[in-house]
Amino acid sequence: MKSLDAYLPAYEFSTRHEVEVAVDPVRADRALREVTFKELPLVRALMLMRGLGRRGARDTMLATMIPRATVLEDVPGEGMVLTLTGQFWRLRGHGPEPPATAVIDFRALEGSLATETRVHVPDPVSRGKFVRYWRVVRPFSGLIRVLVLRAAKRRAEAA
């Protein structure tokens, strides 16, 4: 898979999370793709609070993200890269300011599962608004990603 630099080399905000797994990357990637909201009740609740629609317990986490995002790269056994554009700091996601671009990857590496999010906010006014939003959202966003990675680890290592 390409580096995130190929998709978003310039960015102002980022977060990265990783968990060790004792399985090969193909098995880890498959497990990550199969994680459901039933395995992630807290994640489901957080997404509902953010207004991201109803999520069934059997819905997979990644399949739920894909309709809102554009898939930039999808390599079974390695991972996927998604992008979203919007005004994330606004409840409805749109307004007069220029949008931000987020790139999110989920990767199965030898011995680990990882996710990285990068956000580029080109407009200084929008960037100030995003900073305030990011201070509130970043801990919860990180928690979601860690919980997803841990659920994938449990699933992969139990199979």
95 to 43, 84, 87: CA distances (angstroms): 27, 16, 7
Residue 103 pairs with which residues in a beta bridge?
A: 83, 118
Count of domains for the chain = 1
pLDDT digits (tens, 9 = 90+) for 13-69: 999 999 999 999 999 999 999 988 777 867 666 666 555 555 554 566 666 666 678
Reference 28, options 80, 78, 81, 82; nearest CA is: 78
69 to 8, 57, 65, 81, 132: CA distances (angstroms): 15, 21, 6, 10, 23
Written as one letter, the residue type at 102 is A
Residue 147 near residue 42 (C-beta atoms within 8 A): yes
pTM score, two decimals? 0.86
Residue 143 near residue 136 (C-beta atoms within 8 A): no
Location of structure tokens 């390599």: 75
* Mean per-residue pLDDT of the chain: 86
- Which H or E element spans position 34? helix 25-34
More confident residue, 54 or 131: 131
Q: The domain that contains 49 carries what CATH number?
A: 3.30.530
Domain span holding position 9: 4-158
